[in-house]
Amino acid sequence: MQIAIGSDHAGLELKTEVISILNDLGHEPVDFGTDSPASVDYPDFGEKAASAVSTGKTERGILICGTGQGMSMVANKFRGIRAALCNDLFSAKMSRMHNDANMLIMGGRIIGKDLAKEIVKTWLSTPFDGGRHCNRLDKINAIETKNMKGESQL
């Protein structure tokens, strides 16, 4: 699977590990930077990777910043993106089973490479449960469409 990946300086070290994990698993990471430890703004890199997933250039995406919070905020601005901040295994599993998350976000200053490896493996291998959860995802899509049309006021 082609997987967009990006980070800021705080996520660079873990991003490098995750790229190697993805290659070992037989996936094709598409790296949107950053490439150096120099301080950068996470929205610039989150935007590139989230855009690739939102437009269907890649099926899934992974973003890493210091905590994962900023990258989550950026990714979830994009149409069709369901970005899940997962710094633990249970969240990674549930974000696939119940939310059909198409982007995984992690905090490079929170988790180490061994936990990240398990999170990535779990997140990529866990299928969506479907069923009652489809209706809920439809409702998320409906909210997104309403917001785009400026009709979000209840």
- Determine the size of the site formed for ligand RB5 (CB under 6 A): 8
The contact mask relative to ligand RB5 for 39-78 (x = CB under 6 A, - = no) is ---x----------------------xxx-xx--------
Interacting residues with ligand RB5 between 73 and 132 (CB under 6 A):
none
Q: Which of 9, 27, 65, 86 is catalytic?
A: 65
Residue 91 neighbours by CB distance under 10 Å: 18
Q: Give the separation between CA 95 and CA 123, rounded to whole angstroms.
A: 8
d(CA 124, CA 19): 13
Q: Answer whether 50's CB lies under 8 Å from 74's CB.
A: yes
Nearest-approach distance from CB 6 to ligand RB5, in angstroms = 12
User: Looking at 9, 98, 133, 134, which residue is catalytic?
Assistant: 98
From residue 2 to residue 41, the character string flagging contacts with ligand RB5 as x (rule: CB under 6 A) and all else as - is ------x-x-------------------------------
CB atoms within 10 A of CB 113: 14
Residue (45 or 123) nearer to ligand RB5, CB: 45
Residues in the chain: 154
- Find, among 129, 128, 123, the residue nearest to 25 by Cα: 123
What is the binding site for ligand RB5 (CB under 6 A)? 8, 10, 42, 65-67, 69-70
